[in-house]
Amino acid sequence: MKPLRTVVLVLGCLLLLPSVALLFGGGALGVGYAIARDDDGYVEVGLDRLQTDTAAIRSEEADFLTDPGSPDWVIDFIDVDIRIAATAVDGDDVFVGIAREADVEDFLTGVAHDVIVEVDSTTPEYERAAGTTTGVSPRDTDIWVASASGLEPTLEWEWDSGSWAAVLMNADGSPGVAADVDVGGKSGAIIPIAISMIAFGVIGVALGVGLIVVATRRTGAHAERPTTAPSAVAGIGEPSATQEHPVALTARLDAELSRWKWLVKWILAIPHFIVLVVLWIAFVVMTFVAGVAILFTGRYPHRIFEFNLGVLRWSWRVNYYAGSGGLGTDRYPPFSLGREPDYPAVLDIAYPEQLSRGLVLVKWWLLAIPHYVILAVLLGGAIGWTDDSDGWRVGLPGGLLGVFVLIAAITLLITDRYPKSLFDLVVGFNRWVYRVVAYAALITDRYPPFRLDQGGDEPSGLPPAPTPTPTPAAMRESESSESETSERETSEHETSESETSERDTALPPPVPPDHSSRSQR
């Protein structure tokens, strides 16, 4: 793939990813708000019973557009209304009010009360503010911007800029407060925001898909090429992928491998890591696009195949240089999506001629689960233990594969020799990983074998491709062809015999030898 097409493809993927998030996020926001709100437009949350033996319960400060200079149009656009509905439990009138945070602190100075510092789901967590005096009646102060009292008071307030706090008390200020409280809110901006998110999402998806189409479409002379990517030409240490064995991975251990350079390779590879983060985001998006194409056409788009294979090749080279691929070379990996056959780590995947439309829906998650369990041990640090009582955990960073690579690296540092047996094992594990990745990325329908093929080269002596069973139509065609061949041979034989007979008939009879002349001599 040309560099310009690669750039366009990456830009399309990067645009498509947030656009899809905006599209689904806006839809979820709009539908969720429409379903959850009541007849008055409020989305309400019921808290567990609020109860204290002190004189009051208040919320922590709630900041909303704290800058007093915020434009009025911003506040008008957001248009947030708050509703607090309380129901007294003990039969005494309760009071709910909202005031500025500073005024609430002054009002409750010296009064013992509880502060709600966090709400876990619907359960509030309190923090006690010490005090000794009994609170005064909240009705005797004019600090409230909104308030209500009674057995079932309901407060409604249009939120304004500033720092605010809500207070729950007995109407007479006596200690011992208990009430069931529902808190609700509504905003006139939610529906416009949801519609805007959907609109920008649709535009972004359209632009992203357009860029992807431009980058992946086949034009000109290239469109006349066969849709199959030729597999690599087999050579010494070079993989050759086939339809029967679609993933081929090799690695070559450097003869002069530095005993200490592996300590800093991960720092040297940081530019590659940054690029690969972007490429893998694009890889995920492109795999989704390819899955949709396979679902409708049964074919993996060739341009997307080239790009995704390039990302896997790039990842394998960097991983072999500075990661759990083995640290088996000191040669810096090239910034390339191409094959790079001269590099010590090479990956080849055969282009799939035809793919199952049905498997695309299940193979990447359901069918691959057994392999995911194995990869979790190899790569995910799944080995470890946890002590819940003390809250600590010990695991293996990088998984089992990372541990093997670390052992090999330490051995190299001490002995100046990379253990060949560990090299073969590590490359075998990576071969397993990339087979599973190719299967999960929908590139092949060949189920990855549960087989550890160790060594730097692809194993020889793999089982041959199965002989296809002839169909009845093919058998009839073969029999017809054999019959025609037999008849033709019989006809040719009869013709040959006839021509021989005619030639013998046309020849003159043999002349007997003349014995008289010999007698006269």
Task: Say what the pLDDT of residue 400 is.
Answer: 84
Helices (H), 93-188: 101-107
Tokens of 205: 């998806």
pLDDT confidence of residue 234: 38
**Is the per-residue pLDDT at 470 higher than 50?**
no
Note the pLDDT of residue 464. Answer: 43
Name the nearest CA neighbour of 180 among 86, 113, 83.
Answer: 86
The pLDDT tens digits for 101-130 are 899 989 998 899 999 988 877 788 889 988
pLDDT of residue 517: 39
> Of the ranges 126-135, 161-170, 350-359, which one carries the lowest mean pLDDT score?
126-135
Both tokens assigned to 413: 């540092």
Mean pLDDT of 151-166: 88
pLDDT score, position 154 = 94
Q: What pLDDT is stored for residue 1 in this prediction?
A: 54
Mean pLDDT check: name the lowest of 88-92, 227-231, 460-464, 489-493.
227-231
pLDDT at 370: 93
Of 363, 371, 378, the closest CA to residue 430 belongs to 378
Query: In Å, how far are 29, 39, 297 from 184, measured between CA atoms?
Result: 17, 12, 50
Q: pTM score, two decimals?
A: 0.57
Find out whether 272 and 318 touch, Cβ atoms under 8 Å. Answer: yes
pLDDT at 36 over 70: yes
Give 133-146 pLDDT, tens digit per residue: 677 889 888 999 99
CA Rg value for the chain: 40
Spatial CA neighbour of 347 closest among 265, 252, 450, 422:
252
Per-residue pLDDT, averaged over 56-63, amounts to 75
What percentage of the chain has pLDDT greater than the value 70?
Answer: 75
Confidence of residue 358 (pLDDT cuts 50, 70, 90): very high
Give the confidence band of 292 by pLDDT, cuts at 50, 70, 90. confident
**Could you give the CA distance from residue 181 to residue 14 in angstroms, rounded to a whole number?**
45
| Confidence class for position 222, pLDDT limits 50, 70, 90 | very low
Average pLDDT over the chain, rounded to whole?
80
Residue type, 109: T
The burial class, CB within 10 Å (0-12 / 13-18 / 19+), for 356 is middle
Q: What is the DSSP string of 462-477?
A: PPPPPPPPPPHHHHHH
Which DSSP letter does residue 223 get?
G
Higher pLDDT, 517 or 195: 195
Distance CA(399)–CA(380), nearest Å, equals: 5
> Which band of pLDDT confidence, cut at 50, 70 and 90, is reported for residue 481?
low
- Residue 480 pLDDT greater than 70, yes or no: no
| C-alpha angle 438-442-445 in degrees, rounded to nearest 5 | 85
> Is the pLDDT at 195 greater than 80, yes or no?
yes
Write down the pLDDT at residue 74: 62
pLDDT at 417 over 90: yes
> What integer pLDDT is reported at residue 371 of this predicted model?
93
pLDDT (mean) for 47-60? 89
In a 3-state reduction of DSSP, which class is residue 17?
helix
Highest average pLDDT, of 157-171, 228-242, 270-284, 416-430, comes from: 416-430
pLDDT at 199 over 60: yes
Q: Considering Cα of 201, then 203, then 209, then 215, what sign does the dihedral take?
A: negative
pLDDT tens digits, one per residue of 237-281: 456 788 889 999 999 999 999 999 999 999 999 888 988 888 898
Name which residue leads in pLDDT, 417 or 17. Answer: 417
- Per-residue confidence at 21, pLDDT binned at 50, 70, 90? confident
